[in-house]
A = this chain, B = another copy of it.
Amino acid sequence: MKRLTLEDIAREAGVSKQTVSRVINHNPDVARETRTRVQDIINRLGYQPNQIARSLSAKRTRTIAVVISKIDQYGPRAILLELDQQAHAAGYRLLPYIIHETEPSDLDAYLRNLLSHQPDGVIWAISNIGDLLESLSPDSSLPIPIVATDINVSGIQSAVAVAHVQASQMAVAHLIEQGSQHVGVITGPPNWAVSRLRLEGWRQGLIEAGLPPDDHQIVQGDWSAQSGYEAMTRLLSQYPQVDAVFASNDQMALGVLHLLYERGIHVPDAMCVAGYDDIPEAAYFSPGLTTIRQPYTDICRITVQTLVRLIDAHNADEPYPPIEKSLLYPKLIVRGSSLRKKAGETIKLETA
């Protein structure tokens, strides 16, 4: 089965390739009658233009490359899905560059490889190898526009900022408001920017409540449920007074809940637990998990819109328009894992 080309359609319709090309690209300079005749033939034969040839000739691929970490984490996965939908809506395809290992050994070569597929723009949706970006020589700046999702990466602009610090602070304030006095925290790996921000939110939450934070209240995980389980084990031994935990994502919170279940420590009476992300399963943990819901749809919509605007400017040889940064606020979702029974004699420090 030979593939159809522009020429086949042109021959069949008795016009030149150029006219067919105009029909395909909705160029107005085609007679009404010619257009319908050509279009009919295209439909009848099921012709689809070769995108590779089209890209080479037009010098644009209608493709957006996305650099993202493994999608087994909820955050990256939600972002990839949303970006895919938003990009489609804007007429672009996504070209995912999934980073499987922690870091590519040679980021510069990695980016050159990415560019060799001629994407029209790049979305930087990975936060744990941001520092590496500085290894890019400043003069080798990309020949195409690039934006980051919600992450501050040196040298890459971002159209949105998520108030991670405030959101985490809000969660911690809630734990304290429910009567907790000794709030521990389980962080993600420190090379992820979001880890550092959520930790900072915890710190500020404590300070705000007049409870000085201390290092022995902090344990580190790697985002997985298992690491949450192990981290909680460590926390219980190094900080026995702990009566509430803020886990930096929901998976780790799940590991925490499991350990408490095993040890027979009641949640929330003996221990309040909060997570971060509001994965779809969080409502069905036992008990349901108090957590922070992120505005992924907004993040991705704004990011794609911004990038598309930059691409348009790039194609029109205009200077890039300034990027205005939207500040987005996550939402605290309160569920059973932190709601102490009102009837109980639990201590309340303050009320919001």
Contact = CB atoms under 8 A, between A and B. Distances in A.
Interface of A: 1, 3, 46, 48-53, 55-56, 61, 70-72, 77-78, 80-81, 84-85, 93-96, 98, 100, 108, 112-113, 115-118, 140-141, 143, 224-226, 228-229, 251, 254-255, 257-258, 261, 280-281, 283-288
A46 B71 CA distance: 30
A216 to B, nearest CB: 25
A61 to B, nearest CB: 7
A81 B76 CA distance: 13
A141 B229 contact: no
30 contacts: A3-B143, A46-B108, A46-B112, A46-B140, A48-B112, A48-B113, A49-B116, A50-B116, A50-B118, A51-B117, A53-B56, A56-B56, A71-B77, A71-B80, A72-B78, A77-B77, A84-B100, A85-B100, A94-B96, A224-B280, A225-B280, A225-B283, A226-B283, A228-B284, A229-B284, A254-B281, A254-B284, A254-B285, A261-B286, A285-B286
A77 B279 CA distance: 15
Contacts of A55: 52
A77 B72 CA distance: 7
A276 to B, nearest CB: 15
A6 to B, nearest CB: 12
- 7 closest A-B pairs by beta carbon, nearest first, are A261-B286, A48-B116, A225-B284, A258-B284, A48-B112, A51-B117, A225-B281
A89 B71 CA distance: 18
A84 B116 CA distance: 19
A56 to B, nearest CB: 5
Contacts of A70: 81
Q: Which of A77, A257, A288 has the most CB of B within 10 A?
A: A77
A320 to B, nearest CB: 14
A198 B251 CA distance: 27
Contact of A258 (B56, B143, B255, B288): B288
Nearest to A49: B116
A55 B115 CA distance: 15
A52 B48 contact: no
Contacts of A71: 71, 77, 80-81
Q: Which of A84, A116, A288 has the most CB of B within 10 A?
A: A116
A304 B173 CA distance: 50
Contacts of A251: 280-281
Contacts of A72: 77-78, 81, 280
A235 to B, nearest CB: 16
B280 A258 contact: no
A93 to B, nearest CB: 8
